[in-house]
A and B are shown apart, each in its own frame.
Chain A
Amino acid sequence: MADGQVVKRAKYKSSVKGPGVPGVLKMTQDKFVFMPNDPTSSARLNVEFRLIKGHKFTKEGPNKQALLNLAQDQGGNYIFEFDNFSDRDVCREFTARALAMSGESGKADSERSAVTIQDEQLSTAEMERRIKLLQEDSELQKLHKQFVIGGVLTEAEFWATRKKLLDGDAGRMPKQRVGLKSAMLWDVKPSADGKSNRVTLNLTPEIVHQIFAEKPAVHQAFLNFVPSKMTEKDFWTKYSKAEYFLRSKNAVAAAAEAAEDEELAIFFKHDDVLLNEARRKIRRVDPTLDMEADEGDDYMHLPDHGLPHVGSKDAMDSQYEQYRRSLSQSLNRHAEVVLEGRAINMELGDTRAVAEALARLKQVQLANEASHGNNNQQRLVRISRMAEIEDLQAPRDLPFAPLCIKDPREYFDSQQANALKALGDTLAATKQMKCRLSTSEAYRSLREFISEVKVAGLGDPIVKPEVTIKVLNGLTQSISSTKYHLGKNPQESVLDRLPSMTKEELLHHWTSIQELLKHFWSSYPITTTHLYTKVSRLKDAMSQIYPKLQEIKESVQSDFRHQVSLLVQPMLQTILVQALDAAFAHYDADLQKRSSAKSGERPNGFV
C-alpha cells in the first residue's frame, strides 16, 4: 500500500456466528482502528499490529462469508466480515505485510520505532538477515536490546561492528534449485476405466521433462518429428502406447506393433544415445579396475542384484531381446538423471522449448568433453603408471635437505643455569664457593658418613618431637591450602558454583562492557560531532555498569557472596575497571583538550 493505509467497510464480530457490528475498518502501518457506524456502540477498536500474532481467513466461495480473523497475542480474536472477497483480500494482504513488519521489529524489540527514525534506508533482505541473526543469537539480541533500544547506540552503529556476521550470513544462503523427483516414471500409473479399453496416461510438463532427461531417444525423436511429421499429441499417444506395451511385458505384441509402425518402433529399440553415453563412461573408468577380481565382494551373486528379473519368466527368442528392458537398467538410468539434477532453469510449460533447451545443453556438454580431448593420452599414461611393477622401478629419491641438529645438551645445560639463577644470588654464590672438589676427598667423606651410621646406629629418637609437629603442621597447611585454592583448577570454574542467574548476569555484563568499550575506542579519534555525541553516550552507559556490578555482589546469597566478590573484585578492579578507567581518563583528557581548543577561537563544531 503506497499510501500506507487501507479503509474498508466491515462488520466486527465477537464470534463467527454472531451478527456483528457494522462499521469502518481502517488499517495503518502499525495498527488498525475499527469505528462502528453507530457512535454509541462500545465495539470500537484500536489495536496495534504488534499485539497480533497471526491471521486467518475464509476460503473464497459463492455463499461463504468473507471473514478475516486476527488472532491476538494473549489469545483473543478479532473477526471482521467484509462485504465482498476483494475487500477482504486487500485487508488480508495489508495485514500480512503489517504483521511481517511488526513481527520483525517486535521480536527484536517492541518499541523500536523511537530509535529507528534516523535509521538509514535498509533493504528488506538486509533487515531480514539482521533479524535472523538476532533470533539465532540470544546474547546478541540482549545486547541489541540493551544498547540500541536503550538509545546508547544507533542501529547502524551496532551493526557496523558486525558487518562480517552479516556478510558471512549472506554468503551462506545459496539459491537452492529444486531437483528432479526421485519417484520413477514407473509410478505414473495409467488409469483404465473398466468399461472401454481406453487407457489414459496423464502427462504433466514435469513428467515430460523427466522423460526427456531419462530417455534421450524419445527426446531425439521429439525433436525430429514434432511438429514437422506429427503433432505433439500424436507423438505422446504413440509414446504412451509403446510404454504400455513395454509395461505389460508383452514383447511379442510389442514386436508386432513395431513392425507395423516404424515411428512406434523407435520407442522400443534400445536407446542408442544411452548406449553411446555408457560406452563413453566406461572409457573413463580406471583401466586397472578388475571387476572379476572384485566379484567376491559382491553382496549377492545374483544377476540384477537379486531383483526379480522382469523378463526372466519366459525364455524368449533373441529377436525379441531388444523389446525387453531390465528393471535395473531403468533404475540406474533414473538414478543417474536424478543425481545430475535439473539442468535447465525455465518454466516447464512449453514442451518444445524444453526439448530444445535440453538439446542445447547436451551439445555444450559434449563440446566440453571434446575440448578435454587428450583423454586417450591420459588413459595411456594412467595405465602405464598403474601397471608399473614396484620391484623393477629405480628407487625414487625424494630431494631433501639433511637436518643439522645442534647438541641438545646445550639447551638443557643453559636451562639448568637459568634455574639456578632464578633461585637467587646467594645460592649461586655458595655454588661458586664449593665449585672444585677433589674426587677422592668426596668419596672418603661419604664413606666416613656410612661408617658413622654403622657405629652410632640409627639414633634415638630419630626425629625430635618439636620438629615432627612442625613438619605435620606444615604438611597440613600446604595440603589444605591447595585443596581450597579457588579458580586455579582449569577444569572447574568458579562461575559454575554460582547460581545460574548470577552467572548469566555476570557474563552478560561482561559482554556488554566489551561491546561498549569496542564502540568507545573505535570512535577515537573524534573527528565529527556525531562521534563526539556517541562517545558521551557510551560514557554514560559505561558509568552505569559500576553500580550494577556492585548490586550483583550484594544480591547473591551469603554462601556465595565470598566467591562472587572473589570473582567480581578482580573483574572490577583489574580488567574491567582498568579498561573503563582508561576509557574515562581518555575521555576527560580529550574533553580538556577540546575545551581549550574551543577557547582558542575555534568555530564551534569544528574539531
Chain B
Amino acid sequence: MLLFLVIFDSVIADDVSLLMVLVDTNPFFWSTTNNALSFSKFLSHVLAFLNSTLLLNQLNQVVVIATGFNSCDYVYDSSSNSVAPNQRTERLLQKLEEFVIKDEQLSKEESADGIGSSLLSGSLSMALCYIQRVFRSGPLHPQPRILCLHGSPDGPQQYVAIMNAIFSAQRSMVPIDSCVIGAQHSAFLQQASYITGGVYLKPQQLDGLFQYLATVFATDLHSRNFLQLPKPVGVDFRASCFCHKNTIDMGYICSVCLSIFCKHHKKCSTCGSVFGQAQTNAPSTSKQKRKSPDT
C-alpha cells in the first residue's frame, strides 16, 4: 500500500498534465478564413485533441477558455463533476454557443474594421489565475501548461498586458505553447513561447491540424525532455525605429525613454527630451593628414 502511494506520488509529479487551451473565437477572423479551415472543422480537430489528451492519462485535466472579441470565459473544465464523461463534447459546444451569444451582446458597434484582435491578454490572465489556484490546491497537482490556438492578429493595445502575463507565466514556470492558425506569424506568441520555453508552431497544412496538435502539443512536460520538438529558426530581436517603423540593426536611442530612431533627431518625439550635438569633428582631422596626389 505504501509502495503504491509512493509510485502514485511520483506519477503525479511527472507526467500528469493540466492543459489550458485558449481557443480563439473571434467571429471576424473565423468568418474570413479562406476555407482552409472552417470553425466547425477547427472545432472537430480540437475536440478530438482534447479527448485524446484526457485519454493519455487518467489524471490529465483539460480546461478550455474561449478568447472572444469582447470577453473571455471558461468554456469547459474536465475536473468539474457536473459533466459526465460521455457528454463532454455536447457540454462544451453548448457552453461555447452561450459564450458566443453573450459576447455578441457585449459588442457595441454594428460593424468592425478588419479582423480586429481577440482578447488574448484576458484569456492568458484567466488561465494563469486558474493555474495559480491549482498550485495552491496542495502539493500534488498536475503540471500545467498553456496552449494558445490563435488566429487573430496581435492587438497592439494589449501589448503591456500580454507581456505581463508572459512574464508571470515565466515566473511560475508555466510554458506557453502557441499554435498559430492565422495568416501571419504572431509576434506576441512568438515571444511568449520563447520566453516561457514553450513551443511555437505555425502549421502549414491547416487541414491536418489534429496531427500537428497530437504530434507536437500532446506530450506532457516530462516527456518533452526526451523529444525533439520544432524550434523557431530564430527569433528576430531587431528593433524597429519609432520614426519610420523600419527594422534597423543600429540606431539612436533616447537616453531618457529608450525610444529608437534610425537617424539623429534634435528632440525625442516620444518624451520630448532635447539631445545634445553629436560629436562629428573626429574624422575631419584625419582627412587633413595626407594630401591627395596631384597626378
Binding site for B on A (CB under 8 A): 401, 403-406, 408-409, 411-420, 423, 427, 430-431, 434-443, 445-447, 449-454, 456-459, 462-464, 467-468, 470-472, 474-475, 478-479, 482-483, 485, 488, 525-527, 593-594, 597, 607
Contact = CB atoms under 8 A, between A and B. Distances in A.
Contacts of B269: 406
Contacts of B208: 463-464, 467-468, 470-471
Contacts of A401: 272
B285 to A, nearest CB: 16
B234 A488 contact: yes
Interface string B267-295: 00111100000000000000000111101
Interface in B147-176: 153-154, 156-157, 159-160
25 contacts: A408-B159, A420-B184, A427-B183, A437-B31, A439-B104, A440-B104, A440-B110, A442-B27, A445-B31, A447-B97, A449-B30, A449-B40, A449-B43, A450-B40, A456-B40, A463-B210, A467-B207, A468-B208, A470-B205, A472-B215, A474-B205, A475-B230, A488-B233, A527-B291, A594-B295
A411 B207 contact: no
Interface string B67-110: 00000000000000000000001100100110011011001011
Contact of B207 (A436, A463, A483): A463
Nearest to A427: B183
B213 to A, nearest CB: 10
B258 to A, nearest CB: 11
A482 to B, nearest CB: 5
A465 B19 CA distance: 27
B242 A439 contact: no
Given A451-B97, A459-B44, A442 B211 contact: no
A475 B96 CA distance: 31
Most buried by A among B28, B229, B231, B233: B28
Contact of B257 (A405, A474, A593): A405
B270 to A, nearest CB: 5
B25 interface: yes
A403 B257 contact: yes
Contacts of A458: 44, 47-48, 89
Contacts of A408: 159-160
Contacts of A607: 293, 295
Q: Which 6 interchain pairs have the tightest Cβ spacing?
A: A412-B156, A442-B27, A449-B39, A471-B208, A467-B208, A443-B104
Contacts of A463: 45, 207-211
Given A405-B270, A449-B43, A482-B231, A526 B31 contact: no
Contacts of A443: 27, 100-101, 103-104, 107
B113 A450 contact: no
Interface in B38-70: 38-41, 43-45, 47-48
B140 interface: no
Contact of B90 (A403, A449, A454): A454
Contacts of B183: 423, 427
Most buried by B among A414, A445, A456, A475: A475
Contact of B271 (A405, A457, A593, A594): A405
B211 A483 contact: no
Given A416-B153, A437-B31, 17 more contacts: A408-B159, A409-B156, A412-B154, A431-B114, A431-B115, A437-B32, A437-B112, A443-B103, A446-B25, A446-B100, A456-B40, A457-B44, A464-B207, A471-B211, A479-B231, A593-B295, A607-B293
A593 B292 CA distance: 14
Is the contact region of chain A dominated by helix, strand, or loop, or is it mixed?
helix
Given A453-B43, A462-B210, A527 B290 contact: yes
A414 B215 contact: no
B100 to A, nearest CB: 6
B157 to A, nearest CB: 5
A412 B159 contact: yes
Contacts of A418: 240, 245
A459 B44 CA distance: 7
B218 to A, nearest CB: 13
B39 A439 contact: no
B228 A450 contact: no
Nearest to A439: B107
A441 to B, nearest CB: 7
A474 B207 CA distance: 14
B240 A526 contact: no
A415 to B, nearest CB: 6
Given A440-B104, A482-B233, A446 B90 contact: no
A475 B257 contact: no
B137 interface: no
A453 B153 contact: no
Most buried by B among A413, A439, A456, A464: A439
Given A449-B43, A454-B90, A474 B204 contact: yes
A417 B114 CA distance: 12
B140 to A, nearest CB: 33
Interface string B186-206: 010000000000000001110
Contacts of B159: 408, 412
Given A442-B28, A446-B27, A411 B184 contact: no
A439 B112 contact: yes
Contacts of A412: 154, 156-157, 159
A479 B232 CA distance: 9
A409 B93 CA distance: 35
B158 to A, nearest CB: 9
Nearest to A528: B293
A44 B276 CA distance: 78
Given A450-B97, A470-B205, A472-B215, A483 B228 contact: yes
A468 B39 contact: no
Contacts of A468: 208, 211
A568 B212 CA distance: 39
B191 to A, nearest CB: 13
Contact of B203 (A414, A462, A471, A482): A471
Contact of A525 (B109, B184, B245, B292): B292
B234 to A, nearest CB: 7
Given A442-B27, A449-B38, A485-B233, A404 B271 contact: yes
Contacts of A440: 104, 110
Contact of A435 (B39, B114, B211): B114
B221 to A, nearest CB: 18
A516 to B, nearest CB: 20
Nearest to B89: A458
A411 B242 contact: yes
A401 B233 CA distance: 44
